[in-house]
């Protein structure tokens, strides 16, 4: 079955609708034009490509810790959407519990944007997430993951790593940060999103230079701990990206059975989406 028509779950995408949910005045970057998309429009995109469910991620761009757009999207179609929120580091157990009741599965941390120092004191928040059986989702790059390993060794929280860990391709698969990510995979401690190629590829579409890294991740993590994600609507993309051509990259890189595992089986089980 074609990658375009096989049933799928998108494990990382955003909704941005500033006409209804204005961007924060003090947020540095305000997405515009093709970077924006409402939940209603995204469902039209999903229908074109047989995407049945999606895990929406609160964007640091535009909204920061304002989760109103995310929560509205989930409430509008709870059978379709679940979410990952951005919250203050002192977010209480009760606040997290409320988020969970609204379809939020976890919290996003973005050291690739904010740096490690911004997150140096999140261990109590990770403990609360662990107690609530919620996900801690990290977007790191280069060797940033190494800074978080001590606290992650002390807190057995469910962990996801965005966009293949955004390795430095010049440093190869032997670089310390990528090897640390592979170690988490060998230990069964994390889920990795096979996504975001435009964020670290140097060759551009169709991202052939990322293949040694994606192959190492799938081989080490196993298909039950790898999930596909579109990253729609491609915030801060260095060049134009579209949903269909991005999907075709996976058709070239992975077999039909591998795609079904990453695009349906694993996210359906990990994020507890109900099968139609």
Residues 174-179, mean pLDDT to the nearest whole number: 98
Structure-token pair, residue 18: 């500033």
pLDDT tens, position by position, 3-22: 999 999 999 999 999 999 99
Residues 71-85, mean pLDDT to the nearest whole number: 98
With 0.85 as the threshold, say if the pTM is over it.
yes
pLDDT tens, position by position, 84-127: 999 999 999 999 999 999 999 999 999 999 999 999 999 999 99
With beta carbons less than 8 A apart as the criterion, state whether 12 and 57 touch.
Answer: yes
Tell me: pLDDT of 275 over 80.
Answer: no
Tell me which fold the domain 8-270 belongs to. TIM Barrel (3.20.20)
What are the strands, taking DSSP E only, across 101-165? 104-109, 135-138, 158-161
- What are the boundaries of each domain within the chain? 8-270
Q: Do β-strands 51-57 and 8-13 pair in parallel, antiparallel, or remain unpaired?
A: parallel
Residues 127-153, mean pLDDT to the nearest whole number: 98
pLDDT, position 276: 61
Structure-token pair, residue 146: 């190494």
Cis (ω within 30 of 0) for the bond into 206? yes
pLDDT tens, position by position, 46-69: 999 999 999 999 999 999 999 999
Handedness of CA 231, 263, 41, 99 (dihedral sign): negative
How far is the C-alpha of 201 from the C-alpha of 198, rounded, in Å? 5
């Amino acid at each position: 079955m074609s990658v375009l028509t096989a049933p799928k779950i998108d494990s990382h995408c955003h909704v941005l609708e500033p006409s209804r949910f204005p961007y924060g005045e003090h947020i540095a970057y305000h997405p515009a034009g093709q970077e924006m998309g409402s939940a209603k429009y995204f469902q039209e995109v999903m229908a074109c490509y047989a995407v049945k469910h999606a895990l929406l991620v609160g964007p640091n761009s535009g909204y920061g810790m304002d989760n109103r757009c995310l929560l509205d999207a989930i409430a509008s179609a709870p059978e379709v959407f679940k979410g990952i929120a951005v919250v203050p580091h002192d977010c209480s157990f009760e606040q997290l519990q409320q988020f969970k009741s609204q379809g939020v599965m976890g919290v996003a941390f973005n050291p690739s944007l904010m740096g490690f120092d911004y997150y140096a004191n999140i261990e109590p928040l990770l403990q609360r997430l662990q107690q609530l059986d919620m996900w801690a989702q990290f977007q790191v790059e280069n060797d940033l993951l190494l800074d978080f390993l001590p606290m992650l060794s002390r807190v057995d929280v469910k962990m996801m790593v965005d966009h293949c860990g955004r390795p430095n391709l010049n440093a190869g698969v032997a670089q310390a940060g990528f090897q640390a990510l592979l170690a988490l995979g060998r230990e069964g401690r994390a889920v990795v999103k096979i996504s975001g190629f435009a964020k670290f590829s140097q060759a551009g579409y169709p991202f052939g230079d990322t293949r040694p890294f994606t192959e190492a991740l799938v081989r080490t993590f196993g298909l039950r701990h790898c999930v596909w994600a579109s990253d729609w609507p491609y915030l801060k993309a260095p060049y134009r990206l579209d949903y269909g051509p991005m999907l075709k990259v996976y058709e070239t890189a992975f077999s039909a059975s591998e795609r079904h595992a990453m695009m349906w089986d694993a996210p359906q089980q990990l994020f507890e989406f109900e099968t139609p």
